[in-house]
A and B are shown apart, each in its own frame.
Chain A
Amino acid sequence: MRVPRVGVLALQGDFACHAASLGALGVDGRRVTRPQDLDGLDALVLPGGESTTMLRLIEGQRLREPLERFLSEKPVLGTCAGVILLGGDSAPLPAPPFGVLDVSVERNGYGRQIDSFCAEIEAKAVGGRFPGVFIRAPRIRRVGPSVEVVAWRRSDGAEEASEPVGVRRGNTVGLTFHPELTSDLRFHRWFLAEVAGLDVPEAPVSGATTGTPAARGRS
């Protein structure tokens, strides 16, 4: 079995948390900050962070075209800011997003940090309920016909699911929440195994731990 080569865009944001989640599954998440870092990767993760800052850094590091090529061919998982980068339109941005997912995304769609929240989400792909962590999260306002919803936020108290918070088109996945801030590895495992079709070693890379230290200590 070949250990998959997965990159994490590490220009800005919570790339270390994604690398930790991948590490717990036995995958060494490689930091991507230059075009040549994409060479030979099987899949890529676009982390949470500031989408405007990331877009500026993508231009500054001459990553625009290499990323466009990569995103059109290889499996990609984007969380939070990553969805904005993958999406179709979400003004105002300093540069156009990559438009791989036909969705309209509203930046900071729930408000500022004091409006950040944790909510249970429903995702059949990972076997049902999942702890959703939403931080200054974007909001998916429109889902195009080519896009499948893979995660829903349940509305308060209501039985039926309410709002799309995770979308997929082919081997591109966008989540508006942060599985990498929890110790629950199901979304990362699903992305690697089911979406990207890679072998998941499941043996932690040495020294790997999951989630943020805060999450680790108490969950």
Chain B
Amino acid sequence: MSTHEQFRLKVGLAEMLKGGVIMDVMTADQARIAEEGGAAAVMALERIPARIRREGGVARMSDPRLIREIEAAVSIPVMAKCRIGHTAEAQILETLGIDFIDESEVLTPADEEHHIDKHPFKVPFVCGCRELGEALRRIGEGAAMIRTKGEAGTGNVVEAVRHMRAVTRSIRLLSALSEDELMAEAKGLAAPYELVKQVARTGKLPVPNFAAGGVATPADAALMMQLGAEAVFVGSGIFEVGLDLKPEEQRREQLRMAQAMVKAVTNYNRPEVLTEISEGLPKPMRGITLESIPEEQLLAKRGW
């Protein structure tokens, strides 16, 4: 198969996920709740970002056994995270038949200079970004989907909004430039020139553009869609809900939150529907303000 066809298949799967919600899950049972709640895909990981934040330590790829259990539990696509620059973890995930790899700043980076060369892989990759230059560098390395980084595990959507606005604003600015201004712009963005030209011509990223990082309520998810996201990742926002409840109640509340997130993304432009689904929802995760996080604990700064 040509590399062109290979890339088409990778971006194709990203297209299939549009308009959907991708949910972080830590167990096969959570994966079933996510699927029942209407998730378009699940992200298998050992600890959701809020826990990584609480517990600290080095966060790594999940145990293959957990990933296999989750793959067996659901029929929707299963994604999993590997550390930035950790090619061997990515190879393991590919061997496990993972449908999409997230080379993620949520895990502790393995390389502080380089990301994975994603072109040789058959499995597609999604990578986070804070601005357009970072997005285009990742696409240049072979990413088939881009998401905002936001600030995972905070339950605070402010960073995802900042990153989405930064990307869409830069795209609009590029579209207004003339051809002879694009090389200097590429230099400024530290982005591949060909991709800069393509974005300037088409007015959009060459791969789907999703939102992630701090989405804690259905209204947060709707906001990200209104800002131009084509789908939404919900990390800690579902399975951090109802932690103080009995297992059965907890399951019910988490399912309700999952369903509400999905409905909010489908109806993101209909305030009357958003109002209805926001009413009497389970209490969302408590959340953290960005000012209270020490500089060195900010996940979004990881990635180069």
Task: Enumerate chain A interface residues (CB-CB to B < 8 A).
Answer: 10-17, 33, 48-50, 52-53, 56-57, 60-61, 80-81, 92, 94, 107-108, 111-114, 116-118, 133, 135-136, 178, 181, 209, 212-219
Contact = CB atoms under 8 A, between A and B. Distances in A.
Interface hub of B5, B9, B35 (most chain A Cβ within 10 A): B9
27 contacts: A11-B19, A12-B40, A15-B19, A16-B230, A33-B266, A33-B267, A50-B17, A50-B20, A50-B41, A52-B35, A52-B75, A53-B38, A60-B38, A60-B266, A94-B36, A112-B97, A114-B97, A114-B122, A117-B9, A135-B12, A135-B13, A181-B12, A213-B198, A213-B202, A214-B7, A215-B8, A217-B206
Contacts of B5: 118
Nearest to A108: B75
A116 B9 contact: yes
B1 A49 contact: no
Nearest to A111: B97
Q: Which of B38, B77, B124, B267: most chain A CB closer than 10 A?
A: B38
Contacts of A60: 38, 259, 262-263, 266
B227 to A, nearest CB: 17
B1 A117 contact: yes
Contact of A217 (B15, B16, B198, B266): B198
Given A57-B262, A114-B97, A178 B12 contact: yes
B8 A209 contact: no
Contacts of A215: 8, 11
A136 B12 CA distance: 10
Given A57-B262, A114-B94, A117-B1, A212 B15 contact: yes
B9 A118 contact: yes
Contacts of A218: 4
Contacts of B12: 14, 116, 133, 135, 178, 181, 212
Closest 9 interchain pairs by CB? Answer: A113-B99, A14-B15, A12-B19, A118-B5, A214-B11, A213-B206, A56-B38, A135-B12, A112-B97
A48 to B, nearest CB: 5
Given A14-B18, A113-B123, A118-B1, A213 B207 contact: yes
A81 to B, nearest CB: 8
Contacts, number: 134
Interface residues of B, number: 45
A176 to B, nearest CB: 13
Contacts of B8: 118, 133, 181, 212, 214-215
Most chain A beta-carbon neighbours within 10 Å: one of B12, B41, B94: B12
A213 B94 CA distance: 25
Contacts of B17: 49-50
Contacts of B13: 113, 116, 135-136
A12 B9 contact: no
Contacts of A50: 16-17, 20, 40-41, 76-77
A213 B204 contact: yes
A216 B4 CA distance: 11
B40 A49 contact: yes
Contacts of A57: 38, 262, 266
Nearest to A178: B12
A209 B12 CA distance: 16
A212 B198 CA distance: 13
Contacts of B167: none
B99 A136 contact: yes
Contacts of B41: 50
A181 B18 CA distance: 14
B161 interface: no
B99 A49 contact: no
Given A48-B15, A53-B76, 9 more contacts: A12-B40, A12-B266, A14-B18, A56-B262, A57-B266, A92-B75, A94-B36, A114-B97, A216-B202
Contacts of A80: 16
A53 B40 contact: yes
A135 B8 CA distance: 10
Nearest to B41: A50
Interface in B167-206: 198, 202, 204-206
Nearest to A115: B97
Contacts of A135: 9, 12-13, 16
A14 B230 CA distance: 10
